[in-house]
């Protein structure tokens, strides 16, 4: 346990020191910020995915968050400090509207996946339809005002880095808090066998709903902040089937059962994309996704617990049981 704590402390210190070690406005810092922001979205997906709630429509929540805060800012000048919670609230509402009947009627497995897939399509199509305000498929840009806390815009990458780091840590905290002790046992029981869990006294409906709502809220917030960072929104990049599947892939590849797994997935996928882009240029457009696809298939077949899951499994087996990490 102390070993884990020390490792976590050292990791945190390294993360705080990182922007000072890299040159200002460095390309690598840009990548790390994206890893943190996408990592927290993937973590939110894995938060429900690991209990058997596979959503193929998380792009919907990302899109709701990103478009709500950006539209409120552009149209009415409402600060993202209010816009982001508004987007989260909307995502929560959406999750409740979809989740309550689904869980109440015990819609699970691929049925649930297909319902969320339809939800993702609905949100993406609505964004395209409302092209008068959202710019449709061409996308939109939040009105830029330079560095401003009020507008949640930071010209200096270092500042944005710390914003992203704090958010990412907060999400890890929420993940740990929401799945501690008996809660975790109850949720794992649901993932294994819902009927048995119900019989054992677990309130399956409310537990699943809670997980779904938390996941949706974090994803919406992540979508908003990601849009604030990239300063460009497009139904393809923040909603729709493509991004939804990308979330699923990265979370699984990294390991959705581990706390840091989805972030490792974000690191892996972003590095791969950037590496291929730098190596081959835009000529090999699509090369990254070809490799993603093959990797996703291989991961599902050979290591469904993901990279970090496999590493942790090895560590736990090697270490004496008393010092095995709780996560």
Partner 1 sequence: MDIYLLEAIMNGVMLGGLLALLALGLNLIFGVIDVVWICYAELVMGGMYAIYWLHAVYAWPFLLACAVAIALVALFGLMLHRLIIEPILGSAPINQLLATGGMLFFLQSLATLLFGTDFRNVGIRLPIIELGEIDLSFARLLAFITALVGALGLYLFLARTYLGTAIRAIAQDREIMGLMGVDQRRIYLITSAIGGGLAGLAACLLVLQYDVHPFIGLTFGPITFMICVLGGLGNMFGGVVAAFIMSQIISIVGYYFSIEISYVLAFVLFIVLILIRPQGILGR
Q: Which residues bind to partner 1, rule: CB under 8 A?
A: 52, 54, 56, 98, 101-102, 105, 107, 109-111, 113-115, 117-119, 121-122, 125-126, 128-129, 241-242, 245, 248-249, 252, 284-290, 292-297, 299-301, 304
In whole angstroms, the minimum distance from the beta carbon of 247 to partner 1 comes to: 11
In whole angstroms, the minimum distance from the beta carbon of 97 to partner 1 comes to: 9
In whole angstroms, the minimum distance from the beta carbon of 98 to partner 1 comes to: 7
Query: Nearer to partner 1 by C-beta: 57 or 142?
Result: 57
In whole angstroms, the minimum distance from the beta carbon of 55 to partner 1 comes to: 11
Query: Nearer to partner 1 by C-beta: 97 or 316?
Result: 97
Query: Nearer to partner 1 by C-beta: 27 or 111?
Result: 111
Query: Nearer to partner 1 by C-beta: 105 or 278?
Result: 105
In whole angstroms, the minimum distance from the beta carbon of 90 to partner 1 comes to: 16
Query: Nearer to partner 1 by C-beta: 91 or 151?
Result: 91
How long, in residues, is the chain? Answer: 327
In whole angstroms, the minimum distance from the beta carbon of 299 to partner 1 comes to: 8
In whole angstroms, the minimum distance from the beta carbon of 270 to partner 1 comes to: 16
Query: Nearer to partner 1 by C-beta: 92 or 252?
Result: 252
Rounded Cα gap, residues 252 and 43, in angstroms: 10
Query: Nearer to partner 1 by C-beta: 55 or 179?
Result: 55
């Amino acid at each position: 346990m102390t070993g884990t704590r020390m490792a976590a402390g050292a990791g945190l210190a390294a993360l705080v020191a990182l922007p000072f070690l890299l040159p200002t406005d460095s390309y690598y810092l840009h990548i790390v910020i994206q890893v943190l922001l996408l990592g927290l979205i993937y973590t939110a997906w894995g938060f429900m995915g690991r209990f058997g709630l596979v959503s193929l429509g998380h792009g919907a929540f990302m899109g709701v968050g990103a478009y709500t805060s950006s539209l409120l800012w552009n149209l009415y000048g409402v600060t993202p400090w209010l816009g982001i919670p508004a987007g989260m609230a909307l995502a929560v509402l959406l999750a409740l509207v979809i989740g309550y009947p689904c869980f109440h009627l015990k819609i699970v497995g691929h049925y649930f996946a297909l319902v969320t897939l339809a939800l993702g399509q609905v949100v993406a199509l609505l964004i395209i339809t409302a092209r008068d305000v959202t710019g449709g498929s061409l996308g939109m840009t939040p009105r830029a005002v330079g560095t401003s806390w009020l507008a949640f815009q930071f010209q200096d990458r270092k500042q944005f880095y710390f914003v992203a780091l704090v958010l990412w840590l907060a999400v890890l905290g929420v993940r740990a808090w929401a799945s501690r002790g008996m809660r975790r046992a109850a949720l794992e029981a649901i993932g294994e066998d819902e009927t048995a869990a119900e019989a054992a006294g677990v309130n399956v409906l409310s537990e699943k709903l809670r997980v779904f709502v938390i996941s949706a809220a974090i994803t919406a917030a992540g979508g908003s902040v990601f849009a604030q960072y990239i300063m460009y929104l497009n139904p393809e990049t923040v909603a729709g089937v493509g991004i939804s599947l990308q979330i699923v892939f990265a979370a699984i590849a990294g390991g959705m059962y581990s706390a840091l797994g989805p972030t490792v997935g974000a690191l892996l996928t972003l590095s791969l994309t950037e590496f291929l882009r730098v190596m081959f240029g835009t000529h090999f457009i699509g090369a990254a996704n070809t490799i993603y696809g093959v990797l996703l298939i291989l991961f599902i077949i050979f290591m469904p617990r993901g990279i970090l899951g496999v590493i942790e499994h090895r560590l736990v087996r090697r270490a004496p049981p008393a010092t095995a990490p709780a996560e």
